[in-house]
């Protein structure tokens, strides 16, 4: 790839999707196609022999016509001689349908002819992408037609937060009052000349005034 020579490479991945180790189930292999596209000078295609024969042939022809390095990564889950064509077909369909093995073509010079550099050939992924963009576009149009929609959402959220804050403040105030009330105040005194009695009465009156 770095030499920029006119070399065609075919790389085959023969590991069945269902035979991946459990520990590696959530971890993808190193993406050779993405690595090659990062160079920016190579034709890159990802194909599956038992998924779309037409796409395989088209990728091979485009790779052959490309003046420069080309990389075609093919998925062919055929690991043993006893593997039947039906099992290979089932493994291929599973890997392609769930998006584990995407089908695409990348031609860095296609835009010179007014075409897109990247072509996504996976029907299911393309459909899911269209549905996602459709939902995103619908939300964008809704916001444009109803600009108050976003403001209403913000106001609704702000009102909810204020209600929660008021409720918490009220609960805290109630707890404070309960703590201040506490047990009844009892003042004991003993006096021969009446001074202690007068002082006790003043303390009692102040206590009542403060709750």
Q: Does the pTM exceed 0.85?
A: no
What pLDDT, on a 0 to 100 scale, did the predictor assign at position 106? 92
Strand 43-48, strand 104-106: pairing: antiparallel
Name the residue with tokens 């809704």. 142
pLDDT tens-digit readout, 98-123: 888 889 999 998 888 888 888 888 87
Percent of the chain scoring above 90 in pLDDT:
19
Strand 43-48, strand 8-13: pairing: unpaired
| Separation between Cα atoms, residue 97 and residue 125, nearest integer Å | 8
What pLDDT, on a 0 to 100 scale, did the predictor assign at position 196? 67
| Separation between Cα atoms, residue 127 and residue 125, nearest integer Å | 5
The sign of the CA dihedral 90, 96, 101, 105 is positive
| Separation between Cα atoms, residue 99 and residue 95, nearest integer Å | 6
Position 49 pLDDT exceeds 70: yes
- Band (pLDDT 50/70/90 cuts) for residue 65 is very high
DSSP string computed for 78-121: --STT--HHHHHHHHHHHHHTTSS--EEE-TTGGGGT--SEEE-
What is the mean pLDDT of the segment spanning 124-141?
61
Residue 120 DSSP class: E
| Separation between Cα atoms, residue 174 and residue 187, nearest integer Å | 27
* Contact between 101 and 57 (Cβ < 8 Å): no
What pLDDT, on a 0 to 100 scale, did the predictor assign at position 67? 92
- Per the prediction, the chain carries an average pLDDT of 75
Position 23 pLDDT exceeds 50: no
- Band (pLDDT 50/70/90 cuts) for residue 62 is very high
What is the mean pLDDT of the segment spanning 28-51?
87
Position 154 pLDDT exceeds 50: no
Residue 211 DSSP class: -
pLDDT tens-digit readout, 175-209: 655 655 555 666 666 666 666 677 667 766 766 65
């Amino acid at each position: 790839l770095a030499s920029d020579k006119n070399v065609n490479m075919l790389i085959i991945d023969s590991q069945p999707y269902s035979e991946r180790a459990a520990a590696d189930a959530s971890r993808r292999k190193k993406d050779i196609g993405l690595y090659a596209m990062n160079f920016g000078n190579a034709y890159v295609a990802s194909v599956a022999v038992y998924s779309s024969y037409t796409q395989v042939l088209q990728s091979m022809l485009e790779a052959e016509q490309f003046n420069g390095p080309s990389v075609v990564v093919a998925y062919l889950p055929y690991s043993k001689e006893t593997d039947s064509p039906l099992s290979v077909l089932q493994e291929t369909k599973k890997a392609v349908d769930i998006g584990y093995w995407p089908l695409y073509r990348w031609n860095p010079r296609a835009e010179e002819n007014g075409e897109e550099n990247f072509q996504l050939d996976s029907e299911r992924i393309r459909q899911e992408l269209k549905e996602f963009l459709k939902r995103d576009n619908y939300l964008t149009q809704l916001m444009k037609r109803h600009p108050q929609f976003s403001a209403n959402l913000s106001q609704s959220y702000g009102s909810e937060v204020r209600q929660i804050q008021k409720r918490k403040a009220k609960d805290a105030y109630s707890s404070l009052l309960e703590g201040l009330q506490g047990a009844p105040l009892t003042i004991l005194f003993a006096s021969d000349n009446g001074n202690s009695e007068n002082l006790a009465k003043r303390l009692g009156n102040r206590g009542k005034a403060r709750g």
